[in-house]
Structure 1
Amino acid sequence: AMARDGAACVAAGAAELHVHARGLDGRESLAPEAIDRTILALRRACPGTLIGVSTGAWIENDDERTLAAIAGWSELPDYASVNLSEKAAPEVMERLRQRGIGIEAGLASVTDAERLVSIDHGSQVLRILIEISEQSLDAAWEVSDGIATVLDRAGMRRAVLLHGADVTVWPFVHRAAERNWSTRVGLEDGKQLPDGTTASGNAALTAAAVAIFRAGRCFIS
């Protein structure tokens, strides 16, 4: 089902796929059997498409289990998102680096940005993911701009992906297009299309974002 949905999103214009693999019980999982099966299916369905996964601490609920799982992957994603708000972020980033997997550094606050700069992993970061949970647009703009300021001051020049949720999804898509950043949309983050109607699926959300980006050069995932 994930492979079919991924193929539909690519057909709608997605340049990448960000997925949360699941075990046979339907729960999110980083276990090799879940990741390997998912990545292999997506590679077959969407050849040539970049594929990323989450490493969120909530998935395994145990830092050592997370690190062991990454070490056991056979079908490697192109990149993995790491939340800098999580305690084991440096160790997870190092394990990904050892496996040759690109790192998408997830920043939800100015504190996260300062932590990324302080641990000096910039050389191995593929992209910065500015992922804001605030539902007040003014607050969301303040946080995202604050993150960008910290990175600029540190001289950390990386591609940026601006990712909103619910209220901020479409304002962030527009902001990303204006700044020539990447963006990300999907049912995980919001089910409404720009006109307020409920999307039929991830492909419909992708198509709506692509329409906004049509004149730009950014990527939708």
Structure 2
Amino acid sequence: MIVQACINGARPSDFHPHIPLTVEAMARDAAASVAAGAAELHLHPRGADGQESLAAVDETVSAIRRVCPGTLVGVSTGAWIEGDRERTREAIRQWLVLPDYASVNLSEDDAPAIMQLLRDRGVGIEAGLASVADAERYVSLEDHQRVLRVLIELDHEQDWQRARAVQDGILEVLERGGVTRPVLLHGFDATVWPFVELARQRRFSTRIGLEDGKHLPDGTIASGNAALVAAAVDIFLGRPN
């Protein structure tokens, strides 16, 4: 069970006054998140124009490793980042500084090829499942056990009961498929904290940060990523918020 910090995601600059979108800001927030108790880091590198970029992985991962030595660093491979299948593949092939892992969304057409490319490059895989259909596709892959973990991410459904039902359905598919990989469970906006608590109860890992939401458990807006991480760690340790 770990708390992973997801420090920016695809959020725009006006989502929160302290969302880290430059290399320097990401390194600062990464260090603060680790100090607050995050065991790993997940980020979406940005280019000089502030837009998400797989070409920015080398510089960003290098900067974060300098301030967070020994901490696992992961990135997204979302198809929207480069907006083109071949550009996505080529950007990954060109990485000189490899992240420890990368998340792959099973809802995306090219997911199996991206997973194999990451394996070929020696990068761990978070298999991202946002629906029962994603889970069924994942377990149908011959090499589905060759991943770092399964990432159950309910970022579309904002009703807690419906989101919980989707999560239950995904877990049923994984159980039927004999999946033995670790699970990281997280929500988005309205479902962030219910899923952090559920992850604690189920002894899954979770993640928290401005990619997933900006509110603390009491509904107030967090000062930044470190405050969100600290609140999640308190829940995992059974401390009152």
SS at match of 1:122: coil
Please tell me whether residue 2 in structure 1 is matched to residue 9 in structure 2: no
Runs of 4+ in 1 over 6 A off after TM superposition: none
2:153, 2:41 → 1: CA distance?
16
1:130 maps to 152
| Deviation per residue, 1:160-195 (Å, 9 max, x gap) | 000100111000000000111000111111110000
1:190, 1:54 → 2: CA distance?
17
2:193 maps to 170
Please tell me whether residue 16 in structure 1 is matched to residue 40 in structure 2: yes
Please tell me whether residue 159 in structure 1 is matched to residue 216 in structure 2: no
1:42 maps to 64
SS at match of 1:130: strand
Matched residue pairs, number? 214
Q: CA deviation at 1:59?
A: 0.2
The amino acid across from 2:29 in the alignment is D
| Deviation per residue, 1:84-138 (Å, 9 max, x gap) | 0000000100100000000000000000000001122323211000001211111
Scaled by the length of structure 1, the TM-score of the pair is: 0.95
1:85 maps to 107
1:215, 1:204 → 2: CA distance?
17
Please tell me whether residue 195 in structure 1 is matched to residue 221 in structure 2: no
1:79, 1:185 → 2: CA distance?
17
Which runs of 5 or more residues in structure 2 are unaligned?
A: 1-24
1:161, 1:121 → 2: CA distance?
19
| Deviation per residue, 1:131-153 (Å, 9 max, x gap) | 01211111101100100100100
The amino acid across from 2:186 in the alignment is H
1:124, 1:63 → 2: CA distance?
22
Higher helix share: 1
1:67 maps to 89
| Residues 82-161 of structure 1: pairs in structure 2 closer than 5 A | 82-132=104-154, 133-161=156-184
1:123, 1:162 → 2: CA distance?
18
Q: Percent identity?
A: 67
Pick one of 204, 207, 210 that aligns with 2:227: 204
Q: CA deviation at 1:215?
A: 4.6
Q: CA deviation at 1:13?
A: 0.1
SS at match of 1:123: coil
The CA RMSD measured in Å over matched residues stands at: 1.0
1:52, 1:195 → 2: CA distance?
29
Scaled by the length of structure 2, the TM-score of the pair is: 0.87
2:90, 2:41 → 1: CA distance?
24
1:219 maps to none
1:19, 1:139 → 2: CA distance?
27
Pick one of 202, 216, 239 that aligns with 1:179: 202
SS at match of 1:125: coil
Which runs of 5 or more residues in structure 1 are unaligned?
A: 217-221
The amino acid across from 1:209 in the alignment is A
The amino acid across from 1:13 in the alignment is G
